[in-house]
Chains A and B, each alone.
Chain A
Amino acid sequence: MRGADYFIKRVVFAVVTVFVAITINFALFRLAPGSAVANLSRVPHATPETRAALKKEFGLDKSRGEQYVLYLKQLAHGNLGISFANQQPVSSNLRTALKNTIPMVLLGTLFAIIFGTFTGVISAWRRGTATEGMTLGTALTLYAMPTHWLGLMLIIVFAGTLPTGGMSDEFLINPSFTEHMQDLARHIFLPALTLGLVLFGEYTLIVRSAMLETLGEDYILTARAKGLKPWAIMRKHALRNALLPVTTLIALSLGYIVAGAILVETVFSWPGIGRAVYDAVLQRDYPMLQGAFLVLTVSVVFFNLVADLLYFKLDPRITE
Chain B
Amino acid sequence: MSVVLHEPGAVEETEVRQVRRGLVRRTLSRRPSAIVGIVLLTVIVLMGLLAPWIAPYGLHEQVGQPFEAPSPAHPLGLDDGGIDMVTLLMWGTRISLLVGFAATAVSILIGGTIGLSAGYFGGKVDTVLMRITDYFIVIPDVPLMIVVAAIWGPSIGHIIIVIGILLWTGTARVLRAQVKSVRERVYIQRARALGASHWRIVGRHVLPQVAPLLIANTVLTVAVAIFDETALSFLGLGDPSAISLGKVIENAFERAAISSGAWWAIVPPGILVALIILSCSLIGGALEDALNPRLRASHLGARSFRLRPLVGRSPESV
Please judge, given known A-B contacts A128-B301, A140-B281, whether A152 and B140 are in contact too, CB under 8 Å: no
**A251 at interface by CB-CB < 8 Å:** no
Closest to B273 in A: A146
**A28 at interface by CB-CB < 8 Å:** yes
Partner of B270 from A153, A212, A230 at Cβ < 8 Å: A153
Measured CB to CB, the closest approach of chain B to A191, in angstroms, equals 15
CB–CB A296/B143 < 8 A = yes
Find chain A residues with CB under 8 A from B304 CB: 127-128
Which of B114-122, B198-206, B234-242 lies at the interface? Answer: B234-242
**A90 at interface by CB-CB < 8 Å:** no
Closest to B305 in A: A230
CB–CB B140/A215 < 8 A = no
Find chain A residues with CB under 8 A from B147 CB: 28, 289-290, 293
Closest to A263 in B: B231
Q: How far is the CA of A155 from the CA of B273 in the complex (A)?
A: 19
Per-residue contact bits, chain A 236-263, to B (CB 8 Å; 1 contact, 0 not): 0000000000000000000110011011
CB–CB A148/B143 < 8 A = no
Closest to B304 in A: A128
Chain B interface, DSSP helix/strand/loop, else mixed: helix
Partner of A124 from B227, B275, B301 at Cβ < 8 Å: B301
**A13 at interface by CB-CB < 8 Å:** yes
Q: How far is the CA of A150 from the CA of B310 in the complex (A)?
A: 43
CB–CB B274/A145 < 8 A = yes
Per-residue contact bits, chain B 289-318, to A (CB 8 Å; 1 contact, 0 not): 000101111111111111000100000000
**B44 at interface by CB-CB < 8 Å:** no
Partner of A224 from B148, B282, B300 at Cβ < 8 Å: B300
Per-residue contact bits, chain B 132-156, to A (CB 8 Å; 1 contact, 0 not): 0011001110111011101110000
**A284 at interface by CB-CB < 8 Å:** yes
Interface size on B, residues (CB 8 A): 54
Partner of A289 from B150, B263, B300 at Cβ < 8 Å: B150
CB–CB A144/B278 < 8 A = yes
Q: How far is the CA of A212 from the CA of B223 in the complex (A)?
A: 23
Which of A74-82, A106-114, A275-283 lies at the interface? Answer: A275-283
Find chain A residues with CB under 8 A from B182 CB: none
Which of B230, B273, B285, B302 has its CB near the most chain A CB atoms (within 10 A)? B302
**B287 at interface by CB-CB < 8 Å:** no
Partner of B294 from A28, A216, A301 at Cβ < 8 Å: A216
CB–CB A140/B282 < 8 A = yes
In A215-242, the 8 Å CB interface with B consists of 215-217, 220-221, 224, 230
Closest to A17 in B: B138
Please judge, given known A-B contacts A262-B146, A277-B143, A281-B237, whether A149 and B273 are in contact too, CB under 8 Å: yes
Q: How far is the CA of A146 from the CA of B139 in the complex (A)?
A: 22
Measured CB to CB, the closest approach of chain B to A77, in angstroms, equals 23
Partner of B302 from A29, A126, A289 at Cβ < 8 Å: A126
CB–CB A212/B298 < 8 A = yes
CB–CB B231/A17 < 8 A = no
Please judge, given known A-B contacts A126-B301, A140-B282, A259-B143, whether A153 and B267 are in contact too, CB under 8 Å: yes
CB–CB A141/B140 < 8 A = no
CB–CB A278/B235 < 8 A = yes
Per-residue contact bits, chain B 254-276, to A (CB 8 Å; 1 contact, 0 not): 00001000010011011001110
Find chain B residues with CB under 8 A from A145 CB: 270, 273-274, 277
Partner of B249 from A149, A256, A297 at Cβ < 8 Å: A149
Find chain A residues with CB under 8 A from B277 CB: 143-145
**A4 at interface by CB-CB < 8 Å:** no
Q: How far is the CA of A13 from the CA of B303 in the complex (A)?
A: 45
Measured CB to CB, the closest approach of chain A to B225, in angstroms, equals 13
Q: How far is the CA of A280 from the CA of B59 in the complex (A)?
A: 32
CB–CB B281/A230 < 8 A = no
CB–CB B282/A159 < 8 A = no
Please judge, given known A-B contacts A152-B266, A215-B300, A224-B300, whether A144 and B138 are in contact too, CB under 8 Å: no
Closest to A218 in B: B297
A-B pairs, 7 with minimum CB distance: A127-B301, A149-B270, A216-B297, A144-B277, A144-B278, A216-B294, A259-B140
Q: Which residues of B contact A (CB under 8 A)?
A: 134-135, 138-140, 142-144, 146-148, 150-152, 223, 227, 230-231, 234-237, 246, 249, 253, 258, 263, 266-267, 269-270, 273-275, 277-278, 281-282, 285, 292, 294-306, 310
Given A127-B302, A224-B305, 13 new contacts (CB under 8 A)? A24-B144, A29-B151, A124-B301, A126-B302, A144-B281, A145-B274, A145-B277, A209-B295, A215-B298, A221-B310, A230-B306, A263-B235, A266-B234
Q: Which residues of A contact B (CB under 8 A)?
A: 13, 17, 20-21, 24, 28-29, 32, 39, 124-129, 140-141, 143-150, 152-153, 155-156, 159, 209, 212-213, 215-217, 220-221, 224, 230, 255-256, 259-260, 262-263, 266-267, 277-278, 281-282, 284, 289-290, 292-293, 296-297, 300-301, 304
